[in-house]
Structure 1
Amino acid sequence: MAGLGQFSLHEQALAGGQAEEPLVDAVRTALSSAVGSNAPPIPEFPDTESRLKYLRWLGGLSERLKRQKPDWNVRKEFLQTIWYESRRSGLDPALVLGLVQVESNFRKFAVSSVGARGYMQVMPFWTRVLGDGDAGKLFHMQTNLRFGCVILRHYLDREKGDLYLALGRYNGSRGKAPYPNAVFGAKRNWEISVA
């Protein structure tokens, strides 16, 4: 589990190890498509009210994230990608932001002692299983966030919707409380009312 406090630039992330296991075709397809994509996703909305809710979410969380990501364009692209990838995977964006906070404290180039990489501390074996094995691609924002969200969704499906167990599986600490509790606690920092 990554530490919950502020990291210096020289500290490692302390993520546990995700276990390599067989994947269903839908997971393999979703992750493989992330490796080939370089552009941040552009959100689309069915109506004006949905767009306004998104903009309120973006504005509110942008202020909260300013300390970790001072540049507005970087913050906007990061939040836009979090919103897109979490919703695409059927996850709560606040949960994904909480997981990112715990795993890497929002550091794009974080590397754990077991080799997990990037914002969501994805293990390098995922690139070998799904593509060319270039673990450096896990430092690409959209690739890392897509992998992380799809992997968490995969674990949530394997655990029949039990988020506590899915988070433990994600971290390699299944059945132990500290990691899921840390993510649930961090999630509260990113919950926002946009009604």
Structure 2
Amino acid sequence: MNERSVWSHRGHQPDRRRWLAGVAVVPAVWLAPSLAWAGGQLEEPLADSVRTALSSAIASGAPPVPTFATTEARLAYLRWLSAMSDRLYGRKKDLNTRVEFLQTAWYESRRAGLDVSLVLGLIQVESAFRKFAVSSVGARGYMQVMPFWSRVIGDGDPAKLFHMQTNLRFGCVILRHYLDRERGDLFMALGRYNGSRGRAPYPNAVLGARKRWLFADASSVA
């Protein structure tokens, strides 16, 4: 991801001080547990090759069981899991529920080539970690996936978007797709995910929320 392009994307150059202020102070309404903030992805025509690639990325049913090349990588993952579990306690009180969610978020983020702190920040903004959140435009679940995606690249059953791993996989694959379309420009990709491409409030909110989920040992969790 080229986050420096946040400052330099042609035709979309928000004042840097205004951007930083927006990241530092996220309006509370975006994080309120009673709201589903956004989920406004727009349905766009997809080339057959893109549709096939996305469908293939969705279809693999591998369970989120972490494997590690080294003992240190496994220990780093366990430290991450413990730290994130503590931070998520206020949203999910049950330990087993927290661990299952975090393990799945970690797996699906890595599978899509995304930083897990970014995905957790997006989930915080989109649904406040509510599995059954529904937005005013009908987006569903943790990552507020629009139902049309289940028809475009899934099996056509939008009810499955309330299944935890399915929702996280769809959300991560869609965000990865938008990042690729925007050539790594995170600001533009987040706007596209929200249906507000080129406007700063939503990227500000996600990047502000992301800070809560950063982890010092992240580079060792591989």
TM > 0.5 fold call: yes
- Which residue is equivalent to 1:84? 107
Which residue identity is paired with 1:86?
A: S
In 2, are the aligned partners of 1:111 and 1:121 still within 8 Å (CA)? yes
- Which residue is equivalent to 1:4? 30
Tell me if 1:166 matches 2:193: no
Length-normalised TM-score, structure 2: 0.80
Identity of aligned residues (%): 70
Tell me if 1:146 matches 2:169: yes
CA distance in 1, matches of 2:199, 2:151: 28
- Which residue is equivalent to 1:46? 69
Tell me if 1:59 matches 2:85: no
Alpha-carbon RMSD across the aligned residues, in angstroms, is 1.6
Length-normalised TM-score, structure 1: 0.91
CA distance in 1, matches of 2:86, 2:37: 27
The alpha carbon displacement at 1:130 in A equals 2.2
Tell me if 1:177 matches 2:183: no
Please give the per-residue CA displacement for 1:137-161, whole angstroms capped at 9, x wherever unaligned: 0000000000000000000000000
Tell me if 1:117 matches 2:144: no
Please give the per-residue CA displacement for 1:156-186, whole angstroms capped at 9, x wherever unaligned: 0000000000000000000000000100000
Please give the per-residue CA displacement for 1:24-47, whole angstroms capped at 9, x wherever unaligned: 1221211233xxx4x841100011
- Which residue is equivalent to 1:72? 95
In 2, are the aligned partners of 1:40 and 1:77 still within 8 Å (CA)? no
In 1, are the aligned partners of 2:30 and 2:37 still within 8 Å (CA)? no
Contiguous gaps of at least 5 residues in structure 1: none
- Which residue is equivalent to 2:55? 28
In 2, are the aligned partners of 1:122 and 1:144 still within 8 Å (CA)? yes
CA distance in 2, matches of 1:43, 1:26: 24
Count of aligned pairs? 187
Stretches of 4+ aligned residues off by more than 3 angstroms: none
SS of corresponding position for 1:115: coil
The alpha carbon displacement at 1:15 in A equals 1.1
- Which residue is equivalent to 2:7? none
CA distance in 1, matches of 2:32, 2:43: 30
In 2, are the aligned partners of 1:104 and 1:120 still within 8 Å (CA)? yes
Tell me which of the two structures has the higher relative contact order, counting C-alpha pairs closer than 8 angstroms and 6 or more residues apart.
Answer: 2
In 2, are the aligned partners of 1:99 and 1:186 still within 8 Å (CA)? yes
